[in-house]
Chain A
């Protein structure tokens, strides 16, 4: 079942912060976050495994709440290069390696 992402779209000014949420109705093994710019391949950002971990890379970080089956992606002090569509992909674990993606969150950072 497809995870639900919110919000569907967000517009920011450079330097502002944003949070993107990804919720699943099923128990998850891991959550994978990607950013995709128009006409390009999705680019990997980070993986979070069950266990409620939190990760960060530069000014982009994420958390995974196993009890709620929800992951959040945090973008702080956004830059123009952060613009794009963000997708979460969920993995059930076991032999099921494929990712089930949400519909995406379109992020626009304005100067």
Chain B
């Protein structure tokens, strides 16, 4: 079946602009995660949704970052007043969350954001 998809695959923007990054999770997956990956580093957690609500947003670096998942499926990560330090690959992952213990997170290909 289809995996996690993310659009756009690449986004180049200017400092101070607003950007939106989209994630389509695997159909039926209840949980959705956003991570950010800088060059040479592992993914860094940003926010986690269970259904429509943000269950944990403790990884969002500041209030310029916001994410929504209004219908419990597609999610959008929004970054206001972008800064050069926001440049990274933004990864989305989804999981079934049906066992109550732990489960597999499946990652999308990511959106490479470059802030000039």
Contacts and interface: CB of A to CB of B under 8 A. Distances in A.
Interface of A: 2, 29-30, 32, 34, 40-44, 47, 49, 87, 89, 91, 93, 95-104
Given A44-B104, A44-B106, A49-B102, A98 B33 contact: yes
Contacts of B44: 101
B10 to A, nearest CB: 11
A47 B102 contact: yes
Contacts of B43: 42, 87, 89, 99, 101
Interface of B: 3-4, 31, 33, 35, 40-45, 48, 50, 55-56, 59, 91, 95, 97, 101-110
Nearest to B106: A44
Nearest to A49: B102
Contact of B56 (A29, A42, A95): A95
Given A29-B102, A41-B108, A98 B42 contact: no
A101 B42 contact: yes
Given A30-B102, A42-B91, A49-B101, A99 B45 contact: yes
A104 B56 CA distance: 24
Contacts, number: 67
16 contacts: A29-B102, A34-B107, A41-B4, A41-B108, A41-B109, A42-B43, A42-B107, A47-B102, A97-B56, A97-B97, A97-B102, A101-B42, A101-B43, A101-B44, A104-B40, A104-B41
Contacts of B42: 2, 87, 89, 101-104
Contacts of B40: 103-104
Given A95-B55, A98-B48, 9 more contacts: A41-B107, A44-B107, A47-B103, A87-B43, A89-B43, A89-B105, A99-B45, A101-B42, A102-B42
Contacts of B55: 95, 97
Contacts of A93: 102
Contacts of B91: 41-42
A40 B109 contact: yes
A93 B102 CA distance: 8
